[in-house]
Amino acid sequence: MSLQAEYGLGVSELCAMSKRGEKIACLTAYDASFAQVLDQAGVDIILVGDSLGMVIQGHDSTVSVSMEDMIYHSACVSSISKRALILVDMPFMSYSNIEQALFNATRLMQEGGAQMVKLEATERQSEVVAEMSACGIPVCAHLGLRPQYIHKLGGYQRQGQDSESAEQILQDAISLEKAGADLLLVECITHTLAAKIQQTVSIPVIGIGAGKNCDGQILVLQDILGITPGKTPSFAKNYLNEGGIQAAVQAYIAEVKSGDFPS
């Protein structure tokens, strides 16, 4: 058995995919049943997102999600997944300084089975990312629209629309890569900015509501199944019309790989 088969996809395989132009297909999951469907369908990254605050717990933001919630749902997902990389969100205020970030990321890896952790970041988090990376914790930096900042933002608007804020997000991306981030996730930024980031950094860039020019795409599972409680984001697409959940996931993967999603 190869190491890749034993441990599933790792950082180096994701980089290799992006270098050969193979799109990386990612979805969220929060439990073992859906994690198995996604893993067997060939999803490359399963994100245990703090979006569970909305789609599992029914809140209107991710702010109330706790470390215990994240560990519980990560353990459910990681217990069953064999191939996909398990990416887990660090919840609101769980990485506000280096010591706290290291402690909580360790819990997500040891108790939750995370293989990479994600934090919502600007260049201000570079030191935290650098320390985590130096300790052997794979890190994904989530840029652009950062849902944990909802009460500062006042709404889920597209980010980087003027040249100054676009330049700031690009600089954030550069700083976070330099600090040691292994992956970037860009949410709800202009398509031109996403393309610029993708051309500038050498680590893979995953997009959500950020256009086609990313190394991969991610959506919330409930959004592609059309079962989101409340409002579904405008950039999401319902794949359940394709004939069942497995077929819906496979249709999504096929469109990400071929570049047909997003259109």
8-state DSSP, 225: T
If the CB atoms of residues 65 and 166 are measured against ligand KIV, the closer one turns out to be: 65
Q: Measure the CA–CA gap between 176 and 184, rounded to whole angstroms.
A: 8
Single residue of 9, 44, 49, 253 touching ligand KIV by CB under 6 A: 49
The number of residues that bind ligand KIV (CB under 6 A) is 12
Should residue 223 be labelled a site residue for ligand KIV when binding is judged by CB under 6 A?
Answer: no
One residue of 141, 197, 210, 220 binding ligand KIV per CB under 6 A: 220
Question: What dihedral angle (degrees, nearest 10) is formed by the CA atoms of 182, 76, 221, 154?
Answer: -70
* Residue 94 touching ligand KIV (CB under 6 A): no
Contact flag: residue 47 with ligand KIV (CB under 6 A): yes
Nearest distance in Å: CB 120, ligand KIV: 8
Would you call 87 helix, strand, or coil by DSSP?
Answer: strand
Among 18, 51, 78, 159, binds ligand KIV (CB under 6 A): 51
Is 187 in the active site? Answer: yes
**Contact letters (x/-) for ligand KIV, 189-218, by CB under 6 A?**
-------------------x---------x
Distance of CA 170 to the CA centre of its chain: 18
Nearest-angstrom CA–CA distance, 5 and 213? 29
Which residues within the stretch 224-263 sit at the binding site for ligand KIV (CB under 6 A)? none
Task: Report the distance separating Cα 170 and Cα 141, nearest Å.
Answer: 13
What phi and psi values does residue 170 have, to the nearest 5 degrees?
-60, -45
Using the contact rule CB under 6 A, the part of the chain among 5-13, 49-57, 166-174, 176-184 near ligand KIV is 49-57
Residues sharing a CB contact under 8 Å with residue 115, sequence separation 6 or more, in sequence order: 7, 8, 10, 78, 85, 86, 87, 109, 138
Q: Which residues are known catalytic residues?
A: 187
**Footprint on this chain of ligand KIV (rule: CB under 6 A):** 28, 47, 49-51, 89, 142, 185, 187, 208, 218, 220
